[in-house]
Amino acid sequence: MNRLKAYHLITCAANLVLFVGGVFAFPQLSNAQWVYTDGLEGMKVYALAACKTKLVAGTSNGVFSSVDGGASWIAASEGLPLDTWVVCFLASGRRLLAGTSHGLFISPADSSTFVWSRIDMPIQDREWIHSLAASGSRIFAGASSGVLSSDDGAVSWNKLNAAVTQYIVDALFVWKKKILAAIDEYGLYRSTDNGRSWKETQGLPKDNKYFPSIAKHGKFYFIGTPAGVFRSDNEGMSWKEMSNGLPEGTLARSFARAGRNLFAGTEYGVFVSANNVASWEEVNSGLPAETDVWSLVATATHLLAGTDGQGVWRLSLAGLPLRKRAI
């Protein structure tokens, strides 16, 4: 079985937190308390996603869903094999895609329950789908054997014709025709022609090329590495470390946006930056010490964190002692 990777996610646009008219900063965080949620006790939660009125969690025991903003969770794995690990999600119109240890699955997203069916792809029967991304109508999937793409709503798939993508794809990020693909043990590669050609980016760690999370926030790109968080000011061509305030060697496994603020899920809990990661501040009150956070998602009212064996925790954004700045 492949070494399990950490996964971030893409949420429905309607559920991204957009605080119009100001930028929230975090001068003090001691009063904001994380609260443990019901239904995922003791579980490893590798992916979280928000879509329409529901939240979904990908675990080593299938999919769970919540209709109360993440306060409680119930099983939502109908159609999945019993031993399925779910590690990433992508909302695509009225459907939800799930990357799993048994390939790619799809379910209607606007029904009362999730019913999953497997999508045929040119991969092995038990090949993992590690990452998902989309640009317009085109969908990309990072598998254990490279990057695949679909132009017809995930009905048919083709492998991208590039030797560098014939390996485990830990993370994907797509913006228009540009693709960033984190290839396990080989580094971060960038394509500007929808995957026809690739070039390795510059400035990231060379000794441990495991990059599990990529995000775009404003005009900047961010990536989690074993040496901390790095930022790109030129659409991923080159990178610079931006880990001020993080413990040394912090690996950010996931990112989530809340207005102009960026949250990072790490093996030391959750951190937040309000200044394009020039600095980071801890936001861990209520979490067990050094909680390993694998996934994050922000809704209009809460931040949720999926952990490695401690279920899902929820933080009220309204409970943070926020200070508002003019844009």
We report the CATH number of the domain holding residue 61 as 2.130.10.10
Determine, yes or no, domain membership for 2.
no
HSE toward the beta carbon, residue 302, CA cutoff 13 A = 20
Q: pLDDT tens across 90-120, in order?
A: 998 889 999 999 999 999 988 788 999 999 9
SS3 at position 141: strand
The structural domain count of the chain equals 1
Determine, yes or no, domain membership for 7.
no
Provide the domain limits for residue 96.
Answer: 13-325
According to the model, what pLDDT value does residue 74 have?
96
Phi first, then psi, for residue 233 (nearest 5°) are -100, 0
According to the model, what pLDDT value does residue 58 have?
98
Residue 147 CA: distances (Å) to CA of 110, 179, 194, 224, 225: 28, 10, 11, 20, 20
Give the whole-angstrom CA distance, residue 107 versus residue 100: 13
**Residues 252/245, Cβ–Cβ less than 8 Å:** no
What DSSP designation does 308 have? B
Give the whole-angstrom CA distance, residue 240 versus residue 119: 38
47 residue type, one letter? A
Q: pLDDT tens across 170-199, in order?
A: 999 999 889 999 999 999 999 998 888 899
According to the model, what pLDDT value does residue 162 have?
66
Determine, yes or no, domain membership for 5.
no
**Residues 313/300, Cβ–Cβ less than 8 Å:** no
**Residues 66/72, Cβ–Cβ less than 8 Å:** yes
Specify the length of the chain in residues: 327
According to the model, what pLDDT value does residue 93 have?
83
According to the model, what pLDDT value does residue 161 have?
66
What tokens were used for 204? Answer: 């990231």
Give the whole-angstrom CA distance, residue 47 versus residue 6: 8
According to the model, what pLDDT value does residue 141 have?
96
Cα Rg of the chain (Å, integer): 18
According to the model, what pLDDT value does residue 321 have?
43
Determine, yes or no, domain membership for 125.
yes
What tokens were used for 44? Answer: 């490893």
Determine, yes or no, domain membership for 115.
yes
% residues pLDDT > 90 (the chain): 72
Determine, yes or no, domain membership for 59.
yes
Determine, yes or no, domain membership for 239.
yes
The arrangement of strands across the sheet holding 213-217 comes to 213-217, 220-225, 228-232, 240-241
According to the model, what pLDDT value does residue 14 have?
32
pLDDT tens for the chain, residues 1 to 327: 344 544 444 433 333 333 223 334 444 444 679 999 999 999 999 999 988 789 999 999 999 999 999 999 999 999 999 999 999 999 988 899 999 999 999 999 887 889 999 999 999 878 999 999 999 889 999 999 999 999 999 999 998 866 666 789 999 999 988 999 999 999 999 999 888 889 999 999 999 999 999 999 889 999 999 999 999 999 999 999 999 999 999 999 999 998 888 999 999 999 999 999 999 999 999 999 889 999 999 998 999 999 999 999 999 988 554 444 322
**Residues 302/68, Cβ–Cβ less than 8 Å:** no
Determine, yes or no, domain membership for 92.
yes
